[in-house]
Amino acid sequence: MFRSFYGLRDKPFDIIPNPGVLYESNKHRQALTYLQYGFTENIGFILFTGEIGTGKTTLLKYLLTQIASDVEVAVVFNTNVDAQELLRLILIELEVSGVSQDKSHNLDLLNQHLIDIFRQGRRCLLIIDEAQNLSHEALEEVRLLSNLQTETTPLLQIILAGQPELRDIISSPGLEQLAQRVAINYHLAPLSRKELGEYIEYRLQRAGAGSEPIFEAGAVDLLHEHTGGVPRAVNILCNAALVYGYADSLPTISREVIEQVVLDNIGITHHPKDSSRAAGTDKSQTAQHAVDEHMLGRVAHLESMVSKLTAQVNIQAGHIDGGIAAGNEKLVNSLTDLLDKERVRSERYFGRCIALFHKNKMLGKELEKHQRLGKTERLKTDEQTGSKQGLLNSLISFFTG
């Protein structure tokens, strides 16, 4: 919907990893340098980590486009498996025939396959993504695979990629030998504020945008504040912002639009808990209820408008089918466009209502929690007071008895 409005050829903020639109920040270029160096020199394990959504998978896919055709690659994404199943998945990725349920047989198959590749003057690369999900047993199996080598050359190059906790897992007791095999270790950090602005502009340009910026500086500031510079979260919010901007016929995306998008996309961004809100829970809920009523009324109004517009479009379409002049097609297109925008607005308000409903539930639970805590504290106080009074009565009885 918004592409023609903003003069875009493609969707600029698709969340599917696409190496064709990789934005090479300094961090990404450095990561690629480390990965390419480790692979080219064929030195030990490569450990590649980063927060969810920072672009690890996109970088790995880009790396694969740069690798020569004489390199055989196996990429494993399903890591919720045991050591034996992991070995089977690797063989399947390498398209080795004769895979069975027998571990020793499968190891022999892999060893023979790697030797055959080596004799042909070729190399083999194994990439395990989301490696933080592997058990200690499976990680130890990966280490043992690195023992498959000639007298001087490893037969298998291994890249372990995953979330930051992968570093802690590899450093844990029992995996010391694996940690010692790691020769390259790189952590991909989120984008800085400056990099985020460049990233958004780069993605828009690749999608066919003109020279005039679509996202205002204040909008980019707020995006960085709420996403921490994580590209996947940025893509989700930017895509929603373009839909909102289109619905309101806004030529640029302002800070206010991002504020609305953030409000309607609970779960995309992270906000620290604020315990000071507890004291005003009742007032907050009352005010929130008033807002809910207003929003529901607005949604009903929008639904009514959408129904009327739909009826008008259908009437115009019927006239055209009946042979009315082709000039009416422009009017129908205009009405259809208006209908699309009203539908978007309606969906936004529905989303807002749902978000407010969940917020009310959370506030209610928080209030109940504080009420329970207050009741517990009063009971403890009463028990302590009763104990002290009982002791005092005993002492009085003792001395007066």
Q: State pLDDT tens for residues 285-301.
A: 444 444 444 455 555 55
Q: How many domains does the chain have?
A: 3
E strands present in 2-100:
45-50, 71-76
Radius of gyration of the chain (CA): 31
* Statement to judge: residues 284 and 162 lie in one domain: no
Of residues 324, 115, 214, 247, the one with CA closest to residue 107 = 115
| pLDDT of amino acid 151 | 81
Which three-class secondary structure state does DSSP give residue 124? strand
* Statement to judge: residues 250 and 282 lie in one domain: no
Continuous segment of H or E residues that includes residue 221: helix 217-227
* Statement to judge: residues 37 and 58 lie in one domain: yes
* Statement to judge: residues 226 and 133 lie in one domain: no
* Statement to judge: residues 178 and 40 lie in one domain: yes
Question: Which pTM value belongs to this model?
Answer: 0.69
Query: Looking at the domain assignment, is residue 293 inside a domain?
Result: yes
Relative to beta strand 123-128, strand 45-50 is unpaired
Residue 218's φ and ψ, nearest 5 degrees, are -65, -35
What is the tens place of the pLDDT at every residue in 363-377? Answer: 666 666 666 666 555
| Structural domain for 212, as ranges | 1-9+192-271
Which single residue is written with the structure tokens 């620290």? Answer: 272
* Statement to judge: residues 117 and 214 lie in one domain: no
CA distance 122 to 242: 47
Question: Which regions of the chain are under pLDDT 70?
Answer: 266-336, 338-339, 341-401
Which three-class secondary structure state does DSSP give residue 196? helix
Query: Looking at the domain assignment, is residue 20 inside a domain?
Result: no
| pLDDT of amino acid 170 | 95
| pLDDT of amino acid 1 | 73
DSSP annotation of 120 reads T
Partners of 127 in beta bridges? 75, 159
Instruction: Indicate the residue among 232, 256, 271 that finishes a domain.
Output: 271
User: Which CATH number fits the domain that encloses residue 114?
Assistant: 3.40.50.300
* Statement to judge: residues 145 and 198 lie in one domain: no
